Homo-oligomer: A and B are copies of this chain.
């Protein structure tokens, strides 16, 4: 991994990194915060939302104070492969910056857009090789990245001990962002879509019993709440399937990093508690 920048932050070390991904076939960028001390440390994977790179969370979420306090590594990858030879779309919600944490099967996306395999195989293994980890991890994310955190955790429960999300796309098969992206990346077969829909995965009992509870924060002034995010589909699925979903509706909060910064310490503490069991 090539170190692009290093900063001291809250007693720890933050690095912006780049590596050549065998999975996406492109260079991939990420940030890694390592808390003070010798370690080993558990890892929190953070998945960002539409249009973000690794920098939005890194510079705006204010997560490293609590990560330093609790002794967590935080890994924040970019949201898609990028570059001149990589397929793209003029819209902000498809293509570069909008990888949706799935492996695309359709032309022209299938060549590089393999974010699920990138995160759950390549990235996780690379972090365990390059940093002093305990090999235990949690996952969280925002919006499209909340969808990513939930679906990757539910599809690969052996990889993470806990999962949370901020304003996740709760059921991409039932909202415009998800319908558009899944059509482009996965084609018309809705049975394939269902495998990457958090509410449907919970209903199906995919990871039943693995996660004691799942923490979700959602601002009630979020402009995407009703049309795109639909957390009520998550809680309904949780009730139907016996999966505890702790949905906190936060009055007055929107979809911005100011919302996440306000509650990120709760999520870091939530994961730290479960990672240290």
Chain A residues in the interface with B (C-beta under 8 A): 7-11, 14, 59-60, 62, 64-65, 219, 221, 250-254, 256-259, 261-262, 265
Could you tell me if A9 and B261 are in contact, using CB atoms closer than 8 angstroms?
A: yes
Give bound CA distance, A11 to B8, whole Å. Answer: 28
Could you tell me if B7 and A62 are in contact, using CB atoms closer than 8 angstroms?
A: no
Give which listed residue, B10, B221, B258, contacts A9 with CB less than 8 A.
Answer: B258
22 A-B contacts (beta carbon < 8 Å):
A7-B254, A7-B258, A8-B221, A8-B250, A8-B251, A8-B252, A8-B253, A8-B259, A8-B262, A9-B258, A9-B262, A10-B261, A10-B262, A11-B262, A14-B258, A59-B257, A60-B60, A62-B65, A62-B261, A64-B258, A65-B261, A65-B265
Q: How far is the CB of A94 from chain B (nearest CB, A)?
A: 26
Name A's interface SS: mixed
Contacts beyond the supplied A9-B259, A65-B261: 11 A-B pairs with Cβ under 8 Å: A7-B256, A7-B258, A8-B250, A8-B254, A8-B258, A9-B258, A59-B59, A59-B257, A60-B60, A62-B65, A64-B262
A256 / chain B contacts, CB cutoff of 8 Å: 7
A10 / chain B contacts, CB cutoff of 8 Å: 261-262
List the 7 shortest-distance A-B pairs measured between CB atoms, nearest first.
Answer: A62-B62, A8-B252, A7-B258, A9-B258, A8-B253, A10-B262, A59-B60
Chain B: CB-nearest residue to A262:
B10
Chain B: CB-nearest residue to A65:
B62
A64 / chain B contacts, CB cutoff of 8 Å: 258, 261-262
Q: How far is the CB of A58 from chain B (nearest CB, A)?
A: 9
Chain B: CB-nearest residue to A12:
B262
Give bound CA distance, A65 to B262, whole Å. Answer: 7
Give bound CA distance, A261 to B67, whole Å. Answer: 13
A11 / chain B contacts, CB cutoff of 8 Å: 262
A261 / chain B contacts, CB cutoff of 8 Å: 9-10, 62, 64-65
Give bound CA distance, A69 to B14, whole Å. Answer: 27
Q: How far is the CB of A174 from chain B (nearest CB, A)?
A: 27
Give bound CA distance, A234 to B155, whole Å. Answer: 58
